[in-house]
A and B are shown apart, each in its own frame.
Chain A
Amino acid sequence: MQPLIEARGLCKRFGGILAVDHLALSVQQGELVGLIGPNGSGKTTTINMLTGHLSPSAGEILLRGERSEGAAPSSFAARRVGRTFQITQLFSRMTVLENMLVPGLARPHSHRAEATRQARAHLEFLGLAKLEGLQAKNLSGGQQKLLELGRALMLDPEILFLDEPFAGVNPFLRDEIIGLIQKLHAEGRTFVIVDHDIEAIQRLVKRLVVMARGAKIADGAVEDVSHDPEVLRAYAGV
Protein backbone atom coordinates (compact mmCIF):
# COMPACT_ATOMS: atom_id res chain seq x y z
CA MET A 1 0.00 0.00 0.00
CA GLN A 2 1.33 3.45 -0.94
CA PRO A 3 2.32 5.49 2.13
CA LEU A 4 0.54 8.78 2.70
CA ILE A 5 3.89 10.49 3.19
CA GLU A 6 7.37 9.08 2.80
CA ALA A 7 10.91 10.39 3.31
CA ARG A 8 13.80 8.71 1.52
CA GLY A 9 17.41 9.50 2.39
CA LEU A 10 16.34 12.85 3.82
CA CYS A 11 19.21 15.10 4.90
CA LYS A 12 19.39 18.61 6.24
CA ARG A 13 22.66 20.39 6.73
CA PHE A 14 23.03 23.73 8.54
CA GLY A 15 26.57 24.87 7.77
CA GLY A 16 28.80 22.16 9.12
CA ILE A 17 26.08 20.45 11.17
CA LEU A 18 24.13 17.53 9.78
CA ALA A 19 20.80 18.02 11.55
CA VAL A 20 19.02 15.18 9.75
CA ASP A 21 21.09 12.30 8.43
CA HIS A 22 19.65 10.12 5.65
CA LEU A 23 16.30 9.64 7.32
CA ALA A 24 13.89 7.09 5.94
CA LEU A 25 10.36 7.33 7.25
CA SER A 26 6.99 6.34 5.87
CA VAL A 27 3.58 6.96 7.37
CA GLN A 28 0.52 5.09 6.20
CA GLN A 29 -2.98 6.52 5.96
CA GLY A 30 -4.71 6.40 9.36
CA GLU A 31 -1.56 5.83 11.44
CA LEU A 32 -0.83 7.64 14.69
CA VAL A 33 2.94 7.85 14.99
CA GLY A 34 5.03 9.23 17.84
CA LEU A 35 8.35 10.84 16.92
CA ILE A 36 10.63 11.17 19.93
CA GLY A 37 14.27 11.82 20.67
CA PRO A 38 16.52 13.92 22.85
CA ASN A 39 16.88 17.67 22.28
CA GLY A 40 18.71 18.40 19.04
CA SER A 41 17.97 14.99 17.55
CA GLY A 42 16.38 16.53 14.44
CA LYS A 43 12.66 15.94 15.10
CA THR A 44 11.45 19.48 14.43
CA THR A 45 13.79 19.82 11.43
CA THR A 46 12.24 16.64 10.04
CA ILE A 47 8.71 18.01 10.50
CA ASN A 48 9.77 21.29 8.94
CA MET A 49 10.98 19.45 5.86
CA LEU A 50 7.90 17.23 5.67
CA THR A 51 5.63 20.30 5.69
CA GLY A 52 7.65 22.48 3.30
CA HIS A 53 9.03 24.92 5.90
CA LEU A 54 12.59 23.78 5.15
CA SER A 55 14.06 22.46 1.93
CA PRO A 56 16.03 19.25 2.36
CA SER A 57 19.74 19.32 1.51
CA ALA A 58 19.30 15.87 -0.04
CA GLY A 59 16.72 13.12 -0.30
CA GLU A 60 13.13 12.80 -1.42
CA ILE A 61 9.74 13.49 0.09
CA LEU A 62 6.79 11.70 -1.49
CA LEU A 63 3.31 12.89 -0.62
CA ARG A 64 0.80 10.31 -1.86
CA GLY A 65 3.59 9.09 -4.13
CA GLU A 66 4.27 12.52 -5.63
CA ARG A 67 7.72 14.10 -5.28
CA SER A 68 7.28 17.14 -3.03
CA GLU A 69 10.65 18.10 -1.52
CA GLY A 70 11.24 21.83 -1.69
CA ALA A 71 7.56 22.66 -2.33
CA ALA A 72 6.20 25.69 -0.47
CA PRO A 73 4.36 25.19 2.84
CA SER A 74 1.19 26.51 1.18
CA SER A 75 1.48 23.71 -1.39
CA PHE A 76 1.60 21.11 1.41
CA ALA A 77 -1.34 22.83 3.11
CA ALA A 78 -3.32 22.78 -0.14
CA ARG A 79 -2.68 19.02 -0.31
CA ARG A 80 -4.18 18.59 3.15
CA VAL A 81 -1.04 18.52 5.26
CA GLY A 82 -1.57 20.40 8.52
CA ARG A 83 0.82 21.23 11.31
CA THR A 84 1.26 22.96 14.64
CA PHE A 85 4.48 24.51 15.92
CA GLN A 86 6.79 23.85 18.85
CA ILE A 87 6.19 27.42 20.03
CA THR A 88 2.56 28.29 19.31
CA GLN A 89 2.33 30.50 16.21
CA LEU A 90 -0.91 32.44 15.99
CA PHE A 91 -2.08 35.62 14.30
CA SER A 92 -2.01 37.39 17.65
CA ARG A 93 -3.86 40.59 16.82
CA MET A 94 -6.56 38.82 14.85
CA THR A 95 -9.64 37.32 16.43
CA VAL A 96 -10.05 33.62 17.11
CA LEU A 97 -12.54 33.37 14.23
CA GLU A 98 -10.22 35.25 11.85
CA ASN A 99 -7.38 32.87 12.79
CA MET A 100 -9.62 30.02 11.71
CA LEU A 101 -10.78 31.77 8.54
CA VAL A 102 -7.26 32.27 7.15
CA PRO A 103 -6.77 28.57 6.26
CA GLY A 104 -10.48 28.24 5.51
CA LEU A 105 -10.35 30.94 2.85
CA ALA A 106 -6.90 29.97 1.57
CA ARG A 107 -8.36 26.69 0.31
CA PRO A 108 -9.20 26.76 -3.40
CA HIS A 109 -12.88 27.44 -4.27
CA SER A 110 -13.72 28.26 -0.64
CA HIS A 111 -16.60 30.56 0.29
CA ARG A 112 -16.71 32.80 3.33
CA ALA A 113 -20.08 31.56 4.57
CA GLU A 114 -19.05 27.92 4.35
CA ALA A 115 -15.60 28.61 5.87
CA THR A 116 -17.26 30.50 8.74
CA ARG A 117 -19.65 27.62 9.36
CA GLN A 118 -16.77 25.13 9.41
CA ALA A 119 -14.69 27.40 11.66
CA ARG A 120 -17.54 27.66 14.17
CA ALA A 121 -18.04 23.89 14.12
CA HIS A 122 -14.34 23.32 14.86
CA LEU A 123 -14.35 25.98 17.59
CA GLU A 124 -17.33 24.22 19.15
CA PHE A 125 -15.44 20.90 18.99
CA LEU A 126 -12.41 22.51 20.67
CA GLY A 127 -14.48 24.32 23.30
CA LEU A 128 -13.49 27.78 22.01
CA ALA A 129 -16.83 28.79 20.49
CA LYS A 130 -17.55 31.50 23.04
CA LEU A 131 -14.17 33.13 22.42
CA GLU A 132 -14.49 33.64 18.66
CA GLY A 133 -14.49 37.44 18.90
CA LEU A 134 -11.47 37.63 21.20
CA GLN A 135 -8.02 38.52 19.89
CA ALA A 136 -5.80 35.43 19.88
CA LYS A 137 -3.18 37.16 22.06
CA ASN A 138 -5.74 37.36 24.88
CA LEU A 139 -6.21 33.58 25.08
CA SER A 140 -4.47 31.47 27.73
CA GLY A 141 -1.51 29.32 26.68
CA GLY A 142 -3.67 26.19 26.56
CA GLN A 143 -6.40 27.90 24.54
CA GLN A 144 -3.75 29.10 22.11
CA LYS A 145 -2.59 25.50 21.62
CA LEU A 146 -6.17 24.46 20.92
CA LEU A 147 -6.67 27.35 18.49
CA GLU A 148 -3.52 26.37 16.62
CA LEU A 149 -4.87 22.83 16.34
CA GLY A 150 -8.20 24.24 15.16
CA ARG A 151 -6.48 26.33 12.52
CA ALA A 152 -4.75 23.22 11.20
CA LEU A 153 -8.10 21.40 11.16
CA MET A 154 -9.51 24.09 8.86
CA LEU A 155 -7.31 22.60 6.12
CA ASP A 156 -9.33 19.39 6.48
CA PRO A 157 -5.96 17.66 6.79
CA GLU A 158 -5.42 14.03 5.97
CA ILE A 159 -2.20 14.17 7.96
CA LEU A 160 -1.38 16.39 10.93
CA PHE A 161 2.09 16.99 12.30
CA LEU A 162 1.88 18.17 15.91
CA ASP A 163 5.11 19.57 17.31
CA GLU A 164 5.11 19.27 21.10
CA PRO A 165 1.35 19.62 21.64
CA PHE A 166 1.69 18.89 25.36
CA ALA A 167 4.56 21.27 26.11
CA GLY A 168 3.66 23.70 28.88
CA VAL A 169 0.06 22.51 29.30
CA ASN A 170 -1.47 21.41 32.59
CA PRO A 171 -2.42 17.72 33.09
CA PHE A 172 -6.13 18.47 32.68
CA LEU A 173 -5.63 20.17 29.33
CA ARG A 174 -3.15 17.47 28.30
CA ASP A 175 -5.88 14.86 28.80
CA GLU A 176 -8.29 17.05 26.85
CA ILE A 177 -5.84 17.33 23.94
CA ILE A 178 -5.24 13.56 24.01
CA GLY A 179 -9.02 13.03 23.85
CA LEU A 180 -9.33 15.42 20.90
CA ILE A 181 -6.51 13.71 19.00
CA GLN A 182 -8.10 10.31 19.61
CA LYS A 183 -11.45 11.56 18.29
CA LEU A 184 -9.82 13.06 15.20
CA HIS A 185 -7.83 9.88 14.63
CA ALA A 186 -11.02 7.85 14.91
CA GLU A 187 -12.42 10.02 12.08
CA GLY A 188 -9.57 8.69 9.91
CA ARG A 189 -6.98 11.43 10.22
CA THR A 190 -3.30 10.51 10.29
CA PHE A 191 -1.03 11.98 12.99
CA VAL A 192 2.68 12.37 13.56
CA ILE A 193 3.27 13.69 17.07
CA VAL A 194 6.55 15.01 18.41
CA ASP A 195 6.76 15.40 22.18
CA HIS A 196 8.93 14.86 25.20
CA ASP A 197 5.98 13.71 27.29
CA ILE A 198 6.63 9.97 26.95
CA GLU A 199 3.64 9.05 29.09
CA ALA A 200 1.23 11.00 26.89
CA ILE A 201 2.85 9.69 23.71
CA GLN A 202 2.64 6.09 24.94
CA ARG A 203 -1.05 6.57 25.75
CA LEU A 204 -1.73 7.83 22.26
CA VAL A 205 0.36 5.98 19.71
CA LYS A 206 1.00 2.41 18.68
CA ARG A 207 4.13 3.14 16.65
CA LEU A 208 7.17 5.05 17.87
CA VAL A 209 10.01 6.45 15.80
CA VAL A 210 13.10 7.45 17.75
CA MET A 211 15.75 9.84 16.48
CA ALA A 212 19.17 10.64 17.88
CA ARG A 213 21.85 12.90 16.40
CA GLY A 214 19.77 13.37 13.25
CA ALA A 215 19.34 9.68 12.46
CA LYS A 216 16.51 7.25 13.04
CA ILE A 217 17.61 4.68 15.62
CA ALA A 218 14.36 2.78 16.17
CA ASP A 219 10.97 2.43 14.51
CA GLY A 220 8.30 0.03 15.66
CA ALA A 221 5.63 -0.85 18.19
CA VAL A 222 5.73 1.16 21.41
CA GLU A 223 6.47 -1.85 23.63
CA ASP A 224 9.35 -3.00 21.40
CA VAL A 225 10.91 0.41 20.98
CA SER A 226 10.69 1.32 24.65
CA HIS A 227 12.86 -1.71 25.53
CA ASP A 228 15.33 -1.24 22.67
CA PRO A 229 18.82 -0.98 24.22
CA GLU A 230 19.98 1.63 21.72
CA VAL A 231 16.95 3.79 22.46
CA LEU A 232 17.53 3.49 26.17
CA ARG A 233 21.17 4.43 25.68
CA ALA A 234 20.57 7.37 23.34
CA TYR A 235 17.29 8.74 24.59
CA ALA A 236 17.14 7.95 28.29
CA GLY A 237 20.88 7.96 28.89
CA VAL A 238 20.69 4.46 30.40
Chain B
Amino acid sequence: MTRSLAGQAALIALAAVVAVIFPHLVNNYWLSVGITALFYAIVAASWALLVGYAGQFSFGQMAFVSMGAYTSGMLAKYYDVPIPLGIATGVVLCAITGCVIGYVCLRMRGPYLALFTVAFSEVLRIILVSEAEVTGGNGGLQIPSLFRGRSDLPYYYLGLVLLGGSLALMGWLVRSRWGLFFRAIRENEEAAAAAGVKVVRFRLLAFAIAAMFAGLAGGFFGHYVGILTPDIGSVDQMGLVVAMAVIGGPESLIAASIGAILVEFLLEALRAYEQWRLVLFALVLLLTVRFARNGLLALGADSVMRVFRRRDAATPARTA
Protein backbone atom coordinates (compact mmCIF):
# COMPACT_ATOMS: atom_id res chain seq x y z
CA MET B 1 0.00 0.00 0.00
CA THR B 2 1.42 3.44 -0.91
CA ARG B 3 1.73 6.11 1.75
CA SER B 4 -0.94 8.22 0.08
CA LEU B 5 -3.45 5.35 0.25
CA ALA B 6 -2.40 4.55 3.79
CA GLY B 7 -2.80 8.23 4.64
CA GLN B 8 -6.32 8.28 3.23
CA ALA B 9 -7.28 5.10 5.10
CA ALA B 10 -5.86 6.51 8.35
CA LEU B 11 -7.78 9.77 7.95
CA ILE B 12 -11.05 7.93 7.27
CA ALA B 13 -10.48 5.64 10.27
CA LEU B 14 -9.71 8.63 12.49
CA ALA B 15 -12.84 10.46 11.29
CA ALA B 16 -14.95 7.35 11.97
CA VAL B 17 -13.56 6.97 15.50
CA VAL B 18 -14.13 10.66 16.29
CA ALA B 19 -17.68 10.45 14.90
CA VAL B 20 -18.50 7.38 16.99
CA ILE B 21 -17.14 8.70 20.30
CA PHE B 22 -18.31 12.30 19.73
CA PRO B 23 -21.62 11.98 21.69
CA HIS B 24 -19.71 10.79 24.77
CA LEU B 25 -17.49 13.87 24.74
CA VAL B 26 -20.11 16.60 24.46
CA ASN B 27 -23.27 17.83 26.18
CA ASN B 28 -26.80 17.62 24.77
CA TYR B 29 -26.59 21.00 23.04
CA TRP B 30 -23.54 20.01 20.99
CA LEU B 31 -25.05 16.59 20.33
CA SER B 32 -28.04 18.38 18.80
CA VAL B 33 -25.65 20.49 16.72
CA GLY B 34 -23.99 17.25 15.61
CA ILE B 35 -27.32 15.77 14.46
CA THR B 36 -28.12 18.95 12.53
CA ALA B 37 -24.63 18.85 10.98
CA LEU B 38 -25.20 15.23 9.87
CA PHE B 39 -28.47 16.29 8.24
CA TYR B 40 -26.81 19.15 6.37
CA ALA B 41 -23.94 16.84 5.38
CA ILE B 42 -26.33 14.48 3.56
CA VAL B 43 -28.05 17.39 1.81
CA ALA B 44 -24.73 19.02 0.83
CA ALA B 45 -23.47 15.69 -0.57
CA SER B 46 -26.67 15.24 -2.59
CA TRP B 47 -26.28 18.78 -3.96
CA ALA B 48 -22.64 18.01 -4.82
CA LEU B 49 -23.80 14.91 -6.71
CA LEU B 50 -26.24 16.96 -8.77
CA VAL B 51 -24.09 20.05 -9.30
CA GLY B 52 -20.49 18.94 -8.86
CA TYR B 53 -20.78 15.67 -10.78
CA ALA B 54 -23.74 16.05 -13.13
CA GLY B 55 -23.33 19.81 -13.66
CA GLN B 56 -27.02 20.66 -13.09
CA PHE B 57 -27.00 23.87 -11.05
CA SER B 58 -30.10 23.47 -8.92
CA PHE B 59 -31.38 25.57 -6.05
CA GLY B 60 -34.15 23.09 -5.27
CA GLN B 61 -32.46 20.65 -2.93
CA MET B 62 -34.01 22.06 0.25
CA ALA B 63 -37.45 21.91 -1.39
CA PHE B 64 -36.95 18.15 -1.65
CA VAL B 65 -35.88 18.09 2.00
CA SER B 66 -39.13 19.83 2.80
CA MET B 67 -41.11 17.42 0.61
CA GLY B 68 -39.54 14.39 2.28
CA ALA B 69 -40.13 15.79 5.76
CA TYR B 70 -43.75 16.85 5.20
CA THR B 71 -44.68 13.63 3.35
CA SER B 72 -43.39 11.42 6.13
CA GLY B 73 -44.64 13.73 8.87
CA MET B 74 -48.18 14.02 7.50
CA LEU B 75 -48.45 10.29 6.78
CA ALA B 76 -47.40 9.51 10.35
CA LYS B 77 -49.59 12.21 11.91
CA TYR B 78 -52.79 11.80 9.92
CA TYR B 79 -52.70 8.15 8.80
CA ASP B 80 -50.54 6.49 11.48
CA VAL B 81 -48.23 5.19 8.79
CA PRO B 82 -45.07 3.72 10.38
CA ILE B 83 -42.36 6.37 10.22
CA PRO B 84 -39.82 4.32 8.22
CA LEU B 85 -42.53 3.62 5.62
CA GLY B 86 -43.44 7.32 5.60
CA ILE B 87 -39.80 8.30 5.04
CA ALA B 88 -39.57 5.73 2.21
CA THR B 89 -42.74 7.19 0.66
CA GLY B 90 -41.22 10.66 0.87
CA VAL B 91 -38.07 9.42 -0.82
CA VAL B 92 -40.08 7.89 -3.68
CA LEU B 93 -42.18 11.05 -4.05
CA CYS B 94 -38.99 13.14 -4.19
CA ALA B 95 -37.55 10.83 -6.86
CA ILE B 96 -40.68 11.19 -9.00
CA THR B 97 -40.81 14.97 -8.52
CA GLY B 98 -37.06 15.19 -9.22
CA CYS B 99 -37.66 13.37 -12.51
CA VAL B 100 -40.49 15.74 -13.42
CA ILE B 101 -38.41 18.82 -12.55
CA GLY B 102 -35.48 17.36 -14.52
CA TYR B 103 -37.73 16.75 -17.52
CA VAL B 104 -39.24 20.23 -17.47
CA CYS B 105 -35.73 21.71 -17.19
CA LEU B 106 -34.22 19.62 -19.99
CA ARG B 107 -33.47 22.59 -22.19
CA MET B 108 -32.40 24.88 -19.34
CA ARG B 109 -28.83 25.58 -18.35
CA GLY B 110 -26.96 27.68 -15.79
CA PRO B 111 -28.89 30.65 -14.42
CA TYR B 112 -32.18 29.65 -16.08
CA LEU B 113 -32.06 26.24 -14.42
CA ALA B 114 -31.11 27.83 -11.08
CA LEU B 115 -33.98 30.34 -11.33
CA PHE B 116 -36.46 27.61 -12.25
CA THR B 117 -35.50 25.56 -9.20
CA VAL B 118 -35.70 28.66 -6.98
CA ALA B 119 -39.22 29.22 -8.29
CA PHE B 120 -40.10 25.57 -7.64
CA SER B 121 -38.84 25.86 -4.04
CA GLU B 122 -40.86 29.02 -3.48
CA VAL B 123 -44.02 27.52 -4.97
CA LEU B 124 -43.71 24.54 -2.62
CA ARG B 125 -42.99 26.77 0.37
CA ILE B 126 -45.97 29.03 -0.37
CA ILE B 127 -48.27 26.01 -0.76
CA LEU B 128 -47.09 24.77 2.65
CA VAL B 129 -47.77 28.21 4.14
CA SER B 130 -51.17 28.58 2.47
CA GLU B 131 -52.57 25.12 3.19
CA ALA B 132 -52.30 25.70 6.91
CA GLU B 133 -55.22 23.40 7.80
CA VAL B 134 -53.22 20.42 6.68
CA THR B 135 -49.62 21.61 6.92
CA GLY B 136 -49.85 23.81 9.98
CA GLY B 137 -48.63 26.79 7.93
CA ASN B 138 -46.09 29.12 9.50
CA GLY B 139 -47.19 27.96 12.95
CA GLY B 140 -45.64 24.59 12.23
CA LEU B 141 -46.83 21.00 12.12
CA GLN B 142 -46.11 18.77 15.09
CA ILE B 143 -45.20 15.28 13.96
CA PRO B 144 -44.35 12.10 15.88
CA SER B 145 -40.79 11.39 16.91
CA LEU B 146 -38.86 8.52 15.45
CA PHE B 147 -37.65 7.20 18.80
CA ARG B 148 -39.29 7.03 22.17
CA GLY B 149 -37.52 8.63 25.09
CA ARG B 150 -35.81 11.99 25.41
CA SER B 151 -32.30 11.06 24.45
CA ASP B 152 -30.85 12.42 21.22
CA LEU B 153 -28.29 9.63 21.09
CA PRO B 154 -30.32 7.27 18.83
CA TYR B 155 -30.88 10.14 16.38
CA TYR B 156 -27.17 10.88 16.29
CA TYR B 157 -26.21 7.31 15.49
CA LEU B 158 -29.03 6.95 12.99
CA GLY B 159 -27.87 10.18 11.32
CA LEU B 160 -24.33 8.83 11.25
CA VAL B 161 -25.51 5.58 9.63
CA LEU B 162 -27.61 7.51 7.11
CA LEU B 163 -24.69 9.79 6.24
CA GLY B 164 -22.29 6.85 5.94
CA GLY B 165 -24.78 4.87 3.86
CA SER B 166 -25.62 7.86 1.65
CA LEU B 167 -21.95 8.64 1.04
CA ALA B 168 -21.20 4.97 0.32
CA LEU B 169 -24.09 4.72 -2.16
CA MET B 170 -23.37 8.03 -3.84
CA GLY B 171 -19.64 7.22 -3.88
CA TRP B 172 -20.34 3.86 -5.53
CA LEU B 173 -22.57 5.65 -8.04
CA VAL B 174 -20.01 8.26 -9.03
CA ARG B 175 -17.34 5.59 -9.52
CA SER B 176 -19.68 3.50 -11.69
CA ARG B 177 -20.35 4.09 -15.39
CA TRP B 178 -23.28 6.29 -14.40
CA GLY B 179 -20.87 8.60 -12.59
CA LEU B 180 -18.69 8.70 -15.69
CA PHE B 181 -21.73 9.66 -17.78
CA PHE B 182 -22.78 12.32 -15.24
CA ARG B 183 -19.33 13.91 -15.50
CA ALA B 184 -19.35 13.65 -19.30
CA ILE B 185 -22.70 15.48 -19.38
CA ARG B 186 -21.32 18.11 -17.00
CA GLU B 187 -18.32 18.65 -19.26
CA ASN B 188 -20.04 18.68 -22.65
CA GLU B 189 -23.57 17.48 -23.35
CA GLU B 190 -23.18 17.48 -27.11
CA ALA B 191 -20.01 15.40 -27.00
CA ALA B 192 -21.60 13.06 -24.46
CA ALA B 193 -24.55 12.51 -26.79
CA ALA B 194 -22.19 11.88 -29.73
CA ALA B 195 -20.37 9.35 -27.55
CA GLY B 196 -23.61 7.41 -27.09
CA VAL B 197 -24.67 8.69 -23.67
CA LYS B 198 -28.45 8.95 -23.31
CA VAL B 199 -28.24 12.51 -22.04
CA VAL B 200 -31.94 12.96 -21.22
CA ARG B 201 -32.09 9.72 -19.23
CA PHE B 202 -28.98 10.52 -17.19
CA ARG B 203 -29.97 14.13 -16.49
CA LEU B 204 -33.31 12.86 -15.13
CA LEU B 205 -31.52 10.20 -13.10
CA ALA B 206 -29.21 12.81 -11.59
CA PHE B 207 -32.17 14.95 -10.52
CA ALA B 208 -34.09 11.95 -9.18
CA ILE B 209 -31.20 10.44 -7.21
CA ALA B 210 -30.13 13.76 -5.68
CA ALA B 211 -33.78 14.46 -4.74
CA MET B 212 -34.07 11.02 -3.10
CA PHE B 213 -31.15 11.65 -0.77
CA ALA B 214 -32.46 15.13 0.08
CA GLY B 215 -35.88 13.61 0.83
CA LEU B 216 -34.27 10.97 3.04
CA ALA B 217 -32.39 13.66 4.99
CA GLY B 218 -35.63 15.66 5.28
CA GLY B 219 -37.60 12.71 6.61
CA PHE B 220 -34.96 11.91 9.21
CA PHE B 221 -34.49 15.50 10.36
CA GLY B 222 -38.21 16.27 10.43
CA HIS B 223 -38.90 13.43 12.84
CA TYR B 224 -35.93 14.49 14.97
CA VAL B 225 -37.04 18.13 15.25
CA GLY B 226 -40.67 17.06 15.72
CA ILE B 227 -42.11 20.25 14.27
CA LEU B 228 -42.07 21.19 10.61
CA THR B 229 -42.24 24.73 9.26
CA PRO B 230 -42.22 25.76 5.59
CA ASP B 231 -38.97 27.68 6.15
CA ILE B 232 -37.04 24.42 6.03
CA GLY B 233 -37.33 24.61 2.23
CA SER B 234 -36.60 28.33 1.94
CA VAL B 235 -34.07 29.88 -0.41
CA ASP B 236 -32.10 31.05 2.66
CA GLN B 237 -31.65 27.45 3.76
CA MET B 238 -30.67 26.46 0.23
CA GLY B 239 -28.09 29.26 0.17
CA LEU B 240 -26.61 27.88 3.37
CA VAL B 241 -26.33 24.38 1.87
CA VAL B 242 -24.71 25.76 -1.29
CA ALA B 243 -22.21 27.73 0.82
CA MET B 244 -21.42 24.63 2.91
CA ALA B 245 -20.79 22.52 -0.18
CA VAL B 246 -18.78 25.24 -1.92
CA ILE B 247 -16.58 25.80 1.13
CA GLY B 248 -15.98 22.06 1.48
CA GLY B 249 -15.64 21.27 -2.21
CA PRO B 250 -18.59 20.89 -4.59
CA GLU B 251 -16.91 18.26 -6.74
CA SER B 252 -16.34 15.82 -3.90
CA LEU B 253 -19.11 14.16 -1.92
CA ILE B 254 -16.96 13.79 1.19
CA ALA B 255 -15.56 17.33 0.98
CA ALA B 256 -19.07 18.78 0.59
CA SER B 257 -20.23 16.77 3.65
CA ILE B 258 -17.26 17.81 5.76
CA GLY B 259 -17.81 21.40 4.64
CA ALA B 260 -21.40 21.17 5.91
CA ILE B 261 -20.31 19.72 9.26
CA LEU B 262 -17.55 22.31 9.77
CA VAL B 263 -19.75 25.26 8.84
CA GLU B 264 -22.59 24.08 11.10
CA PHE B 265 -20.24 23.67 14.06
CA LEU B 266 -18.44 26.95 13.35
CA LEU B 267 -21.68 28.90 13.12
CA GLU B 268 -22.76 27.47 16.47
CA ALA B 269 -19.35 27.98 18.10
CA LEU B 270 -19.35 31.62 17.03
CA ARG B 271 -22.95 32.25 18.09
CA ALA B 272 -21.73 34.67 20.78
CA TYR B 273 -20.57 37.01 18.02
CA GLU B 274 -24.16 37.25 16.73
CA GLN B 275 -24.29 38.88 13.28
CA TRP B 276 -20.48 39.09 13.00
CA ARG B 277 -20.27 35.32 12.64
CA LEU B 278 -22.27 35.64 9.43
CA VAL B 279 -19.84 38.30 8.20
CA LEU B 280 -16.97 35.92 8.92
CA PHE B 281 -18.86 33.11 7.17
CA ALA B 282 -19.42 35.32 4.12
CA LEU B 283 -15.73 36.26 4.08
CA VAL B 284 -14.69 32.60 4.14
CA LEU B 285 -17.12 31.95 1.31
CA LEU B 286 -15.76 34.88 -0.74
CA LEU B 287 -12.16 33.77 -0.23
CA THR B 288 -13.06 30.18 -1.15
CA VAL B 289 -14.77 31.20 -4.36
CA ARG B 290 -11.86 33.49 -5.24
CA PHE B 291 -8.89 31.31 -4.28
CA ALA B 292 -10.10 27.72 -3.97
CA ARG B 293 -12.74 27.13 -6.63
CA ASN B 294 -12.91 23.46 -5.74
CA GLY B 295 -13.37 24.11 -2.04
CA LEU B 296 -11.08 24.59 0.93
CA LEU B 297 -11.01 20.91 1.82
CA ALA B 298 -10.06 19.86 -1.69
CA LEU B 299 -7.27 22.44 -1.58
CA GLY B 300 -6.08 21.13 1.82
CA ALA B 301 -6.43 17.49 0.75
CA ASP B 302 -4.43 18.17 -2.42
CA SER B 303 -1.62 19.70 -0.35
CA VAL B 304 -1.59 16.76 2.09
CA MET B 305 -1.66 14.21 -0.75
CA ARG B 306 1.19 16.03 -2.47
CA VAL B 307 3.28 15.64 0.69
CA PHE B 308 2.45 11.92 0.88
CA ARG B 309 3.23 11.43 -2.83
CA ARG B 310 6.51 13.30 -2.50
CA ARG B 311 7.45 10.98 0.36
CA ASP B 312 6.37 7.97 -1.73
CA ALA B 313 8.56 9.16 -4.57
CA ALA B 314 11.47 9.81 -2.22
CA THR B 315 11.27 6.34 -0.63
CA PRO B 316 13.59 3.97 -2.52
CA ALA B 317 11.81 0.90 -3.88
CA ARG B 318 12.49 -2.25 -1.90
CA THR B 319 14.30 -4.95 -3.72
CA ALA B 320 13.52 -8.61 -3.15
A residues sitting closer than 8 Å to B (CB atoms) are: 51-53, 72-74, 77-78, 82-83, 85, 89-94, 98, 101-103, 105-107, 112, 151-152, 154-155
B184 to A89, Cβ gap below 8 A?
no
| A107 neighbours in B (Cβ, 8 Å) | 196
Residue of B184, B188, B199 most packed against chain A (CB within 10 A)? B184
Q: A89-B188, A155-B195 are in contact. List 11 more A-B contacts (CB 8 A).
A: A89-B190, A91-B188, A92-B187, A93-B183, A98-B183, A101-B180, A103-B195, A105-B180, A106-B181, A107-B196, A151-B191
| A85 neighbours in B (Cβ, 8 Å) | 190-191, 194
Q: B188: nearest residue on chain A (CB-CB)?
A: A89
CA A100 to CA B218, docked complex, whole Å = 39
| B199 neighbours in A (Cβ, 8 Å) | 72, 74
Contact partner of A53 (CB less than 8 A), chosen from B181, B187, B193, B200, is: B193
Q: A105: nearest residue on chain B (CB-CB)?
A: B177
A14 to chain B, nearest CB (A): 17
A89 to B177, Cβ gap below 8 A?
no
Does B197 have its Cβ within 8 Å of any Cβ on chain A? yes
B250 to chain A, nearest CB (A): 13
| B191 neighbours in A (Cβ, 8 Å) | 85, 89-91, 151
Does B192 have its Cβ within 8 Å of any Cβ on chain A? yes
B180 to A103, Cβ gap below 8 A?
no
A74 to B187, Cβ gap below 8 A?
no
> SS class of chain B's interface: helix, strand, loop or mixed?
helix
Q: Would you mind naming 11 contact pairs between A and B with Cβ atoms under 8 Å apart? A: A82-B194, A85-B194, A89-B191, A94-B187, A101-B180, A102-B196, A106-B177, A151-B195, A152-B194, A154-B195, A155-B195
B198 to A74, Cβ gap below 8 A?
yes
CA A106 to CA B193, docked complex, whole Å = 10
Known: A91-B187, A94-B184. A53 touches B194 (CB 8 A): yes
Residue of A82, A83, A94, A152 most packed against chain B (CB within 10 A)? A94
A139 to chain B, nearest CB (A): 14
CA A23 to CA B194, docked complex, whole Å = 23
A106 to chain B, nearest CB (A): 4
B190 to A102, Cβ gap below 8 A?
no
| A74 neighbours in B (Cβ, 8 Å) | 193, 196-199
CA A107 to CA B184, docked complex, whole Å = 15
CA A105 to CA B194, docked complex, whole Å = 13
| A83 neighbours in B (Cβ, 8 Å) | 194
B194 to A89, Cβ gap below 8 A?
yes
CA A52 to CA B200, docked complex, whole Å = 14
Residue of B187, B188, B199 most packed against chain A (CB within 10 A)? B187
Considering only residues 180-239 of chain B, those with a C-beta below 8 Å from chain A are 180-181, 183-184, 187-188, 190-200
